[in-house]
Structure 1
């Protein structure tokens, strides 16, 4: 149990730091899509190495694995890209917290597909999160500054995209191994994010002095973090993993405040608290959460 929790803690910590690293790169002029592309491309190299090391039960001959993994790839591509667009048009703290609302969108999709039964508690929780989003982004105050409409919208879309990744990963999980699923998903991401990225910058990354930051972003923000999280869930209760996952937005917020000198108004801090507490409670007390969904695929992954 202790080792599993440690893996999940490290994964959440790395995800939180990846937002800060991306913020530094974009502050230096790198395009959000270029940053997203290299995060996924380097992550792809990592998970391909994992697949080569553990090729058993990959399921790569199953068309359903490819379909659902491609859906997961569409989700993770949107998640990475919208997350960094949100940071570029707002702040690391706001973007990370909005992305943390992914379980709310899992509920909404589950309700729409009749996979989950709406209850008063769930609907109230969703309403509270929406209030928190309004407070955090301050979209009601056009003169507030800081978070633009694009930044707020992209942050929410990052959460929606992560929800799509969750569903794709869940359904792919019964057809193959996590490393195979992630290899296909990151491959789809690389193809999709080649299109909107700045071609000049794509090439310039290969010779830039910022390459250590790109490497760290890819290894810790995509490859290693996903492997740690999936393996950590083998030995960690979903409820515990849900609570530990709060480390990600908290780490990202602290990085933004301390390193990038970002600041939040009191109403934004209160909104953030509403979102984090409510989403964590939903994740702990419900079976329709990201950790529980990912858990379904563990039977296909042997240590």
Structure 2
């Protein structure tokens, strides 16, 4: 059971990594980042609604607390999807995915502020290493050299911050209802929020475009099946193991960007990526209050 659960976590992380590449393909074809984000969440909503109907017990849908915190989680995941794809559009899949992987750093900082986590010198040192990794990855000291714009860097970091909001929203909603109920509300909020800024013509065109299989794959892999697999997998997977396995996501996204989208990374960027992945994973493994980079259910 433990081995199967770990495999579910790895598959979920793989799906998330592939979703970044699929989104990159769609935006390279001219699709708006908000449109891509909206359909990723909308199709994911259909999947988790099916899960909710299959397992309706203990949904907690009558709880006001569940709706409040699930709405917060929905705002977080809406920002995460939109900023992530905006970062890809303004830079590369590899850079965007790695910047988003910094979400636990934001969770740490919020935990410090809320006194959920005690700040120590090693933790501050680890955060400083992540900041160094970000500087190397984005080549912020020579921003034009990497092909990543300042907007791309900012959007990637905001994607991580938004994911931190999602983590806290999910964490506080969890005692009041089932994961499938929380995700159903969260994705419904996402769809409502991202519908308005999206290009209206493109929103309608998706239904008849030859690219519709990519949209379906993006929604199923990036927001539906992946979340179900991850939540099921976490039931018998230790947080430390989940933290390490979660590295599959940015690595997969980066390889997809290099091999399929013909993106490139220079030596300092690869070093920066390594510093971020190793340090963030170590932070998650050794912390009690900060979840793994893609953890949805454990405090």
Q: Which TM-score bucket, shorter chain as reference?
A: over 0.9
Equivalence for 2:218: 217
Return the offset for 1:186: 0.2
CA distance, structure 1, for counterparts of residue 84 and residue 94 of structure 2: 11
* 2:272 matched residue in structure 1: 271
Partner of 1:176: 177
Partner of 2:144: 143
Query: Does 2:115 match 1:76?
Result: no
Say yes or no: does 1:240 pair with 2:232: no
Q: Which residue of 2 aligns with 1:47?
A: 48
Q: CA deviation at 1:145?
A: 4.1
8 Å Cα contact 1:60-1:180 kept in structure 2:
yes
How far apart are the structure 2 equivalents of 1:90 and 1:274? 20
How many angstroms apart in 1 are the aligned matches of 2:113 and 2:146?
35
Say yes or no: does 1:134 pair with 2:139. Answer: no
Native 8 Å contact 2:49 2:180 kept in 1: yes
CA RMSD, Structure 1 to Structure 2 (Å): 1.1
Unaligned runs of 5+ in 1: 298-303
1:255 aligns with 2:256: yes
Counterpart CA distance in 2 for 1:59 and 1:36 is: 27
* 8 A Cα contact 1:233 1:291, kept in partner: no
Q: Distance in 2 between the 1:145 and 1:6 partners?
A: 35
Determine if the alignment matches structure 1 residue 118 to structure 2 residue 119: yes
1:294 is the counterpart of 2:278 = no
Matched with 2:35 is 34
The 1-side partners of 2:49 and 2:30 are apart by 30
- CA positional deviation for 1:288: 2.5
TM-score (norm 1): 0.96
Instruction: Tell me what 1:56 maps to.
Output: 57
Which residue is 1:2 aligned to? 3
Q: Pairwise mapping of residues 19-30 of structure 1 onto structure 2 (< 5 A)?
A: 19-30=20-31
- Whole-angstrom distance in 2 between the partners of 1:270 and 1:220: 29
Partners in 2 of 1:108 and 1:275 — Cα distance? 16
Give the 4+ runs in structure 1 shifted more than 4 A: none
Is 1:159 paired with 2:160?
A: yes
* Match runs of 1:91-110 below 5 Å: 91-110=92-111
Q: Secondary structure at the match of 1:174?
A: helix
Scaled by the length of structure 2, the TM-score of the pair is 0.97
What is the distance in 1 between the residues matched to 2:292 and 2:281? 11
Distance 1:251 1:70 in 2: 30
